[in-house]
Structures are given as structure tokens and as C-alpha cells.
Chain A
Amino acid sequence: MYDFALVFALRDALREPPMPLTREQIASIAELARLDLSSNEMPVYQESLSSILAFVGALDQVDTARVTPLAHPLTGLTQRLRPDVVSESDRHEEYQQNAPRVAAGLYLVPKVIE
């Protein structure tokens, strides 16, 4: 049986995160997510991510061996198909008004080496 007391207790227990993520782990997550973190942000995320992961670790207590994961709240609904019809026209000038750098209809980025 699970109750909110458990969740609150867990929160209280988390004042000291059991298995903190290392600085290197935070750096590699930030790299995967392409987020530049300053050196003072590092310890903050190290601490909060560690406690979040410990907190969500409460799920380990549930036996889900025979449970099918639910990716979507409305079970039984299926993908609708769109008829193959062209419904769009060229509006690139309008769409590129939000773009920081464009030239000759192209979005520009620093040189990419393949």
C-alpha cells in the first residue's frame, strides 16, 4: 500500500540525497541537452537533480512486472490518417521573420563540417 505519507517521508529523507550525481554526470547530461551551465550552476543542479532522482526512485517499490506501460492517457484511441493533399503554399518570408539569421531564404548557422 502506498500513501502520501510515504511520499512526504521520502521528501523529508531527501534533505541528504543518498547517491548524488557527480559533476561529470551533470556535465554530460547538460552536454546531451546542449545547455551551457556556469560553474556556479553546476552544484545547484547536482544537488537538485540528485534529490529528484532519489524522489522518483520511490517508484521502485511498485511491482510492475506484468503492467503494460501507459504512454497516453486515452487508451484504445488510434492514430487518425490525413488524406495526402498539399494544403500549404510558400510563406517562407513570413516564417523567417522570427529567424535570427537568414540569407537567400536559408537559415544560417556557423559552418558545419561533416
Chain B
Amino acid sequence: MSAWETVIGLEIHAQLATQSKIFSGSATRYGAPPNAQANLVDLGYPGVLPVLNAAAVRMAVKLGLALQARIATHSVFARKNYFYPDLPKGYQISQYELPIVAQGALEIVLEDGTTKRIGVTRAHLEEDAGKSLHEGLPGVTGIDLNRAGTPLVEIVSEPELRSAKEAVAYMKKMHTLVRYLEICDGNMQEGSFRCDANVSVRPQGAQRFGTRAEIKNLNSFRFVERAINHEVARQIELLESGGQVVQETRLYDPDRGETRPMRSKEEANDYRYFPDPDLLPVVLSEEFIEEVRRTLPELPDEKARRLQHDYQLSAYDAGVLSASRELAAYYEEVVRAVPREPKLAANWVMGELAAALNKENLEITSGRLPAERLGGLLTRIADGTISGKIAKEVFESMWASGASADSVIAEKGLRQITDSAAIEKVIDEVMAKNPAQLGEYRAGKDKLFGFFIGQVMKATGGKANPAQLNELLRRKLGG
């Protein structure tokens, strides 16, 4: 066991899924031409003023309620002052002393199956900055302010994460939650969901935290894990060789798999926070908060518990199926077709379907194979029309053609043979063709039973009902 303990706190930035920006009427759509979605407020033009977007407030409250946090009935926007080219006003409007959400928690499942509650210190509303583009511009940096003013919630965890794996579990869980709440699209490639990781190490058993480094702008789960692991190793090596960790901001370089100090943040910043005089205190009534509470969907943990209970699923299956609202809804629609076979439905959704979607890089929401179609297929397994093995073949055809299970079965003649007379007829033929094996079997070589099963299945194209075949064959071979 290592002599060092890792301490991690995450600051997750989730872009809120509003139509317009937090303080202006510009669109927030991703991928617009440079500065096409930056209006006078976003550009920080002289004389313009911010007006707060109601949807952003509602979404932050939703998140706070889902985290069982305290919702501030009085919160204040403050200015965080610093100069940077992607920050048009020279300050970012954020919340400082009085955030809208405080003191929440999120439960994560550890590798050994136990759960751990991670404290959420606060979640506050703020505006995103623009983007600096360096490529293809010799000697200059280009500034695109389309993203400037996009609403963010910054969700700050307590320093209660103890490994890169825990950090990833926490981030994934938060990712699931914000999508459940429909407050963030969760698109990490586009930067809609990203985090900064505060990482430090201390000797096992120590009370005080070690000096931390902040790794900025991690936008994939894999990078979070690798960056933290690299940073932990770096800090331990530094300390063990008699060095000291410097409090600084670092960047993760995915190509080299390491972190390095961020040059532009070298100087100590003095942000000179003060209440933004252009905005008034945000005051929320209890009625408003209750009204938002009533709009909360079933949350991931509740849903997993319910799936586990109602469908007798394992904790693991219930966890996987509740990873998104859409997946869970899909699963439950499939179960409605085969109410007695929830485990069969779970296996198919998590197995064949997930693999097929994955192969084509599709989401469950793609509509590629509607739940009712998959339900139709499972119905035919359940009622014995086809075997599980044949079902896989039918599934492939359905996936390729979009046809229903019944039409694939009919068209390809895959219906299972359940007519005892028909099966007996085939058995008789097989026995007639293989007198030597029959003799050996009857002489006591039981293992040859499998040979006869194989021959009958071959002759029927796999369609013979396995249970019936088993019984009939045993009787016939017994003579």
C-alpha cells in the first residue's frame, strides 16, 4: 500500500441548455461562424447592460434540488476581474459570496460496489468566456466570442475524492444527473461538460492537505483519469526526492499524457471580486422553488432502485440501464412487451442492442431500432416461436432492414419447429443415416447424445424446439 493519500476536488463546468445566453438574447448554438452569435452585450460594448435569463436560474435550482442542496433565496452576482482576450468586459459575471446552490451531495458507487457520498460545496451561475484560436494564424491569436456569455453552472466538490477512479465516477455521475435534469446536453467534445481538478497528496494519516495543483479544462473522462494519475505520480516523485509541490495551474497534454504549468496563469491573480452593480440580488420565493421541485424527473438513484426492485435486476444491471433517462425508458418499453422476462429484456438491451449501436456510434435516442420492435423479437423468444440463437439472426436482419421480427421470421422461415411428429420424422432419418453412432450410443457411449442433437439441428436449420428435441431424442435413442 502506498504511503501517500491522494486528495482531489473537482470543479465541473456544465453549460446550461438554454436557447439564449445568460445575459443576452444571442443564440447558444454550437458551431456557428466566428462571432456570429456575439451581440453587443456579449462583446462588452460600451453602454450595454446584462439582463438575467430565467431559464438559467430555473436550471440551477433544478440541479440544486437534485443534489439535495440548500437553494439560496437570495443570491448575488459578482464581477471577477482579470484581463484575457476571450473575456470581453475584462471581468466575468459570476457568483462569489452568495451562490445560488450550496451544501449538496452526490452518491457514487466505488469499484467494490460500496457507495460513497461526495459533498458538493456549492454550485453557482456564471457566464462562459470566448475561445482563443491559435491554429493557422501566424503570430496572432484569433478571438471568437460566440461562447462568451453562454450560461454555466460551476459545481464545486469538497476535496473528498481519493483516487482518479473516484473522480471519474463522480464526474460520470454528475454527467448522468445533468442530462437527467435536461439542463445540459453533456457533450464533452464540444466542451459543454468539462472540469478542473484540484489535486494534492499527503502522507497516509496526515490531517493537513498537501499543496495542490489545479489541472484546467479536462474534457473527457479518460483525460480526467490520466491527468490525475500523472499529476499524483509527479507530486509523489517530487516529494519523495525532497522537492516541494508548487501551487499552480497546469494543463494536461493528451498527446504526451502529462501535465505542464500553464504559462499564461503564472502571475498570481487578484480577481477583485465585488457585487455587480448592473445586476440586482436574485430573490427566489419558496413557492418558486417548490414549483421547480415538482418538475424534477425521477433521478438516477431512484430509478436504479426502482428498476432493481420492480424487475428483479442486479444492482449492476439496474445501474447500467439507468445511466440515462432515454436508455431506461427504452428498457421499460421493451419490458412492457415481455412483462414476464425483464432479465431477458435487460440482457438484450445491454447486449445485442448496445453492441449494435456502439458499432455504428449511435445513441439510444437515434431511433434506429424502436423499443417496440425489440419487444416484438423478445415476445417471439418468450412464446417459443424462435430460439435464442435464431433470435440473434433475426435481430441482425431487423437491424439491417428495419423490418419487424415477425416478418423476418416468416420471410426466412425461421419459425421454430414445435410439431412433435415433424421433429420425430427428422430424428428417424438421422438415426437411419448413422447406424454406427446409434449402436455405440446404445452400447453406453452417452456422449454421442450431443452428436445427434447437432445432426437434427443441422437438418432443421436450427429451428427444432430444443426442449422438445431433447425429450424426443432421448426417448427415441433409448429405443
- Chain B nearest Cβ from A70, distance in angstroms: 10
Q: A71-B275, A88-B27 are in contact. Are A111 and B35 (CB under 8 A)?
A: no
Asked if residues A87 and B20 are in contact (CB atoms below 8 Å), the reply is yes
> Which of B279-287, B351-359, B431-439 participates in binding chain A?
B279-287
Which of A32, A72, A86 contacts B20, CB < 8 Å?
A86
Asked if residues A81 and B33 are in contact (CB atoms below 8 Å), the reply is no
Alpha-carbon separation in the docked complex, A112 to B143 (Å): 10
Asked if residues B19 and A112 are in contact (CB atoms below 8 Å), the reply is no
Asked if residues B39 and A91 are in contact (CB atoms below 8 Å), the reply is yes
Does A59 count as interface, using CB distance less than 8 angstroms?
A: no
Q: A84-B19, A87-B20 are in contact. Are A113 and B264 (CB under 8 A)?
A: yes
Chain B residues bordering chain A, tally (CB within 8 A): 53
Does B422 count as interface, using CB distance less than 8 angstroms?
A: no
> Which of B105-113, B134-142, B443-451 participates in binding chain A?
B134-142
Total residue contacts A-B, CB cutoff 8 A: 125
**Which residues on B sit within 8 Å (CB–CB) of A105?**
33-36, 144
**Which residues on A sit within 8 Å (CB–CB) of B45?**
95
Asked if residues B283 and A79 are in contact (CB atoms below 8 Å), the reply is yes
- Chain A nearest Cβ from B37, distance in angstroms: 7
**Which residues on B sit within 8 Å (CB–CB) of A34?**
83
Q: B-side binding surface: helix, strand, loop or mixed?
A: loop
Does A7 count as interface, using CB distance less than 8 angstroms?
A: no
Alpha-carbon separation in the docked complex, A86 to B241 (Å): 57
Alpha-carbon separation in the docked complex, A100 to B163 (Å): 48
Alpha-carbon separation in the docked complex, A90 to B53 (Å): 20
What is A's interface to B at a CB cutoff of 8 Å? 32, 34, 71-72, 77-88, 90-92, 95-96, 103-114
Known: A104-B142, A108-B137. 18 other contacts (CB 8 A): A71-B277, A78-B281, A79-B280, A82-B51, A84-B18, A84-B56, A85-B25, A88-B25, A90-B36, A92-B33, A95-B43, A96-B35, A105-B35, A108-B142, A109-B141, A111-B134, A112-B134, A112-B264
A-B contact pairs, 19 of them (CB 8 A): A72-B277, A77-B280, A79-B283, A81-B54, A82-B51, A83-B55, A84-B56, A86-B20, A88-B27, A88-B39, A91-B39, A96-B35, A103-B137, A103-B142, A105-B33, A108-B137, A112-B264, A113-B263, A114-B251
Enumerate the 8 nearest inter-chain pairs by beta-carbon distance, A residue then B residue, closest first: A106-B142, A87-B25, A84-B55, A81-B54, A105-B34, A90-B36, A78-B283, A107-B143
